[in-house]
Amino acid sequence: MRWESVFDGKTLGGWKRTEFGGGGDVRVEDGVLIVDQGEELSGFNWTRGFPKMSYEVELEAQRRSGLDFFCAVTFPVNERFITFVVGGWGGSTVGISSINKQDASQNETSMIRHFKDNRWYKIRVRVEPDRIQAWIDEERMVDLNTRGKELDLRTGEIDLSVPLGISTFRTTAAFRELRLKRISAAN
């Protein structure tokens, strides 16, 4: 299967600003989607149909200012939704929220990685039956066997991000090269 672009670099076509209370502005500027810092969560979400299984999502993200997560990708896993958090809990936690009611700072996917402002990071998430993987710049951060695990969103407004959403927390960030690829079991 081929990658298909889900952001044209010119408009929010297919995306909308997520209506988080106190969320920052979302706009397209110079081919890049900008999310301004809000009081807490800010972001945008997909408004069209989206696969629930056997797909990959890839994007490039850049923290422009702020000290918390600059890219949280909320995505479907069958009928559930979870979030891959990049730079959370003070700017350096990476992981999946939530697994067995534990958020990314407390579960088996939690790790620490430092991020620089104004640097592009390639983020990729792969969803397959019984497995979720996630990478930052080709380095695998998550390889989770989901059998027997309870997957769900962290409690709060993040549920406004479904079916696919990108959010930030008290941080201004930029995004580009948003793509989707459907995969088969043979991949």
- Residue 160 in any domain: the answer is yes
Residue-level pLDDT at 27: 98
Whole-angstrom Cα distance, residue 140 to residue 109? 11
- Residue 126 in any domain: the answer is yes
Domain that holds residue 11: 4-182
Residue-level pLDDT at 1: 82
- Residue 152 in any domain: the answer is yes
- Alpha-carbon torsion, ordered 84, 86, 92, 96, to 10 deg: 0
| Residues in contact with 128: Cβ distance below 8 Å, sequence separation at least 6, in sequence order | 53, 54, 183, 185
Tally the domains of the chain.
1
Find, among 76, 141, 132, the residue nearest to 113 by Cα: 141
Where in 32-137 does DSSP place strands (E)?
32-35, 41-46, 55-66, 71-77, 80-88, 93-97, 111-112, 121-128, 131-136
User: CATH number of the domain that 77 lies in?
Assistant: 2.60.120.560
- Residue 14 in any domain: the answer is yes
Residues of the chain with pLDDT under 50: none
The token pair at 29 is 């500027």
* Dihedral (CA of 138, 33, 164, 177) sign: negative
Interval 154-180: pLDDT, tens:
999 999 999 999 999 999 999 999 999
Give 3-state DSSP helix, strand, coil % of the chain, rounded to 5.
5, 50, 45
- Residue 187 in any domain: the answer is no
Residue-level pLDDT at 186: 56
Single pTM value for the model: 0.96
The token pair at 159 is 């549920």
The token pair at 118 is 């104004």
Residue-level pLDDT at 69: 98
Residue-level pLDDT at 12: 97
At position 93, the amino acid (one-letter code) is T
